[in-house]
Structure 1
Amino acid sequence: MDRIKSAYEMAMERFSKRKEVPRSEIDRMEYEPMGNAAAAAFLKNREYDLKSEIERHPEPYRGYVAGGIQKTLLHNIMLPADQSLKETNRRAMEGLLAVKKNRRALEELFSQLEHLFNYYEKALAQTYSQFKEHFTEKINAQVKLIEKRSGTKLKVNPEIQPGFQEEWMKIRSQLNQHYEKVLKEQKEKLLQIP
């Protein structure tokens, strides 16, 4: 008859079957977050030097630090919903130029990104204008009815009416999904550039 194993024995069996984590993976887990932190500091501080931060680390680990920097900078490139995001995008692109070797390929992709961002801003403004016009037409019928009943002229701002922001967020989300997909593809291309 088989002996019943204790929980400790079963745990030790599972432990002995586990895969050994390669040293390169341990190094990546240690040094990549340093790159993440360096990129965050670069985005906040105009005087921060990414190249010297990478060179501060021993040669075998510089690739992991640079990888962390690149991932954080790419993560911070977003659709320019406002002026601060435009500035963050520009700064992240400067950082990528500082750490990547193929400047020509980077500048070409950055040009495509700028085109995407400009097109997005125009589409966003046009969509907002059309939405506001449509929403205004929709509430004007109600406003005219209220004016007729009360006998007074009303001035209504559609942007502060119930439902305006909720409906706008839905429409904006749909627009963003399309552009986010293209932006994601561009970021993947940026990641592949040496």
Structure 2
Amino acid sequence: MAEIKSTMDMVMERAARMSAGAGDSDYLGEERLKEGMRLGAAYMRGEPGLAERLAAVSPEESGVVRKGAVQSLLRNIFLARELEKQTLADKAMQGLIEVGQGDGELLKILAEMKKILDGYRQHGEQLKEQLEAQFTQQMAMMEQNLAKQTGMAMKLQPSQHPKFQEEWARIQGQLNEQYGKALQQLKDLVERHLVMEVAP
């Protein structure tokens, strides 16, 4: 009986050692991922040499570090209505090109991504203009009614109409869903392409 117990103890000790070892490797993997994310964030802040820094990482750690850098850059690519905000996405895409070292397949994916970002902004502008034109007629009637009631001429903006805000929110929701799905698919494709490429 004592013999069985000692074997059981040995099995339990071994299992504990194995899980502790796995915990260490998980922790190290997480640290390497964070290191990659910091490299991506540094690039976005304007620090040069992302490709060189990634190349300096040891081969056994480079896959995880690269994954972190790619994820960090991809977070800066999002649907933006303002042209100024899109400069962040442009910079992040430039960083991805640096990580991929000008890979042709990657360039095609990023060109598609750029089309989606531009299309989202332009489509949103067109839809807003159409909605404003639609409400301008209603606003003209409201201005006439207010002028009759108050004896003062007033100029109302379509965006001041409560129904305008409601309708615009609905349109924006549809746009975000439609373009957001397409953008996410391309982001997933970029991550798979850049991270799988270095996987053993």
2:50/2:99 contact within 8 Å kept: yes
CA displacement at 1:126 relative to structure 2 = 0.8
Structure 1 equivalent of residue 6 of structure 2: none
CA displacement at 1:125 relative to structure 2 = 0.9
Distance in 2 of aligned mates of 1:112 and 1:42: 23
Q: Deviations over 1:97-150 (max 9, x none)?
A: 111257100111111112222222221111110121223333333222111122
Distance in 2 of aligned mates of 1:180 and 1:34: 28
2:139/2:157 contact within 8 Å kept: no
Map 1:12-91 onto structure 2 (within 5 A): 20=19, 21=22, 24-45=25-46, 47-91=47-91
CA displacement at 1:152 relative to structure 2 = 2.6
Distance in 1 of aligned mates of 2:176 and 2:106: 24
Judging changes above 3 Å, is the alpha-carbon distance between structure 1 residues 67 and 120 closer, same or farther for their aligned structure 2 residues?
same
SS of 2:191's partner is helix
SS of 1:108's partner is helix
Q: TM-score, normalised on structure 2?
A: 0.77
CA displacement at 1:23 relative to structure 2 = 5.1
Structure 2 equivalent of residue 137 of structure 1: 137
Distance in 1 of aligned mates of 2:27 and 2:59: 16
Aligned-residue Cα RMSD (Å) equals: 2.4
1:35/1:64 contact within 8 Å kept: yes
Which structure carries more helix by proportion?
2
**1:78 maps to amino acid:** F
CA displacement at 1:80 relative to structure 2 = 3.0
Identity %: 25
Distance in 1 of aligned mates of 2:26 and 2:136: 57
SS of 1:79's partner is coil
Q: Deviations over 1:22-49 (max 9, x none)?
A: 654332211111111111111111x421
Q: Deviations over 1:44-82 (max 9, x none)?
A: 11x421122223433321211111000111111112321
Q: TM-score, normalised on structure 1?
A: 0.80
Structure 2 equivalent of residue 6 of structure 1: none
CA displacement at 1:154 relative to structure 2 = 1.4
2:132/2:159 contact within 8 Å kept: yes
The number of residues matched between the two structures is: 178
Structure 2 portions without partners, runs of 5+: 1-11
Structure 1 equivalent of residue 184 of structure 2: 184
